[in-house]
Chains A and B, each alone.
Chain A
Amino acid sequence: MSILNVLVVDDEPGIRTGVTRVLRNFTVGFPFMDDDFSFRTLETGSGEEAIEILEREPVDIVLLDNKLPGIYGIEVLEYIRQQEYDIQVMMITSHASLDLAVKATNNGAYNFVPKPFTPQELKAAMESITKHLYLRRMTRKLNEQGKQVRFQFLSVLSHELKSPINAIEGYLKIMQEKQAGEAIEDYQGMISRSLERIKGMRGLIMDLLDLTRIESGKKKRNIIPVDITELARMAMHSMEPMAIQKSVKIHFTGDQPIYIHSDPSEMEIILNNLLSNAVKYNREGGEVFVSVEEKPQGITVDVKDTGIGMDDAEVGELFKEFVRIRNSKTKDITGSGLGLSIVKKLTDLNHGAIRVSSRPDQGSHFSVIFPRE
């Protein structure tokens, strides 16, 4: 139970005690709120005193009469707006004019309750204003958290974008000052590394585009029956040049078409990421086993490699954004650190699950399981 402080500003004592009596045993609850709200009332007969109370006590809701002996209600309302208090104001007035209504609404009053009102009318108005207050505060909280998350993402991102630039700049400075010798051949290694870092950066940008697309959810998903066996085979073929370079052999099992309803481009991203990882983090002369099967637990794509593997702690970090497992075995492999977090997001989007088992120096086994239709 949360308690909201309600300040009743009215020069008629009868109204003040009436409100207090009605609200004493009244609570507001909605299915979407974690908590019920009850009310504690504070009373005053003048605008001047209302401002004094607002300055010294936390108030959530103000029930405000306009016609007061000193300053008018509307002036109290202006004061609340200027101070940017997180307060909802309800005007209670018997002399409501259009002019006043416009002025009050412009100054952020939530609603009007004409005087005299029945307990039922007051309760209905309180219910609505409480809901409004709750939603406003909730939204603000969520926005703040969202901003926090976005800020962290951006600061990591800028680090990831700057690192390759710094690395390339470093090599260029060495070349500019001819620190390693006179001949271009003396710089072959540095040139390849620079090109490799550029490639990595391009990959990061592509991954970011994928991620933005998933996160914004703006792009319409094109859901059609997708033959996942065929897509896996295509992913295997597109990975072949890289596999040949590393003398990694890819084996494929899966002879019949297996269909799931999904967006083919999403499935492609999942498969390409898993396969390219299996090749990238493999050893020279290693193997990759890809299979697509309909199993009791669902349609399963297995990608198994004989690569460098990971320990349990590393597996635990795997799906976080920008987490790249860094050790001496991975130090020369470029990657954005986004691939698996994208795979995870897309698998979730398709109601699938992803399992990983891995052992250092023996290899990793990724399974993506989609529900059967």
Chain B
Amino acid sequence: MKTILLVDDDPDQLEQLKFQVIRFGYHPVTACSQKEGELLLEEITPDLAIIDLMMENQDSGFILSYRIKQKFPQVPVIIITAVTAECGMKFSLETEDDKRWIKADKYIEKGIRPDQLHREINKLLKV
């Protein structure tokens, strides 16, 4: 079974992600901060990671994503966030320029429908 690392500082958002990931048939491992996420990476190698953007710091997700890519370049990372709704900032990973500074494979807004999330995960895991 493939392991998915989930990191979110809101316990309920984390719980809901976990619930969905189990439903999709994956094994979730959870952390509630960038710091905890980094510690977990000492012990496990996930097949994919889904991380919230704003945790301890506003860019915690970017940093964690960067660390994951440093350690396991092959592990796909999804950054999930409500930042656009919160502050109007838009990020995307469409151009090469975006990809150079945001080290993630997919960037999605919170409130994504479970079936869409499922599709994105499967795409990145090449299932």
Contact = CB atoms under 8 A, between A and B. Distances in A.
Given A171-B16, A174-B16, A326 B9 contact: yes
Interface stretch (A117-125, A159-167, A221-229, A340-348): A159-167
Interface of A: 155, 158-159, 162-163, 166-171, 174, 179-180, 193, 197, 326-328, 331-332
Contact of B56 (A162, A163, A180, A326): A326
Contacts of B19: 174, 179-180
A170 B11 contact: no
Interface of B: 9-16, 19, 23, 31-33, 35-36, 54-56, 82, 86-87, 110-111, 114
Contact of B33 (A162, A170, A327): A327
A-B residue pairs, 10 tightest by C-beta: A167-B12, A331-B11, A170-B16, A331-B32, A326-B9, A163-B10, A193-B12, A326-B33, A332-B11, A328-B32
A158 B85 CA distance: 11
A85 B54 CA distance: 41
Contacts of B32: 326-328, 331
A155 B54 CA distance: 13
Contact of B110 (A158, A166, A193, A197): A166
Contacts of A179: 19, 23, 114
A326 B32 CA distance: 8
A326 B8 CA distance: 11
Contacts of A193: 11-12, 15
B86 A158 contact: yes
Contacts of A331: 11, 14, 32
Contact of B36 (A171, A197, A327): A327
Given A162-B86, A166-B82, A327-B36, A171 B114 contact: no
Given A166-B82, A331-B11, 17 more contacts: A159-B86, A162-B86, A167-B10, A168-B12, A171-B16, A179-B23, A180-B19, A197-B12, A326-B9, A326-B33, A326-B55, A326-B56, A327-B33, A327-B36, A328-B31, A328-B36, A331-B32
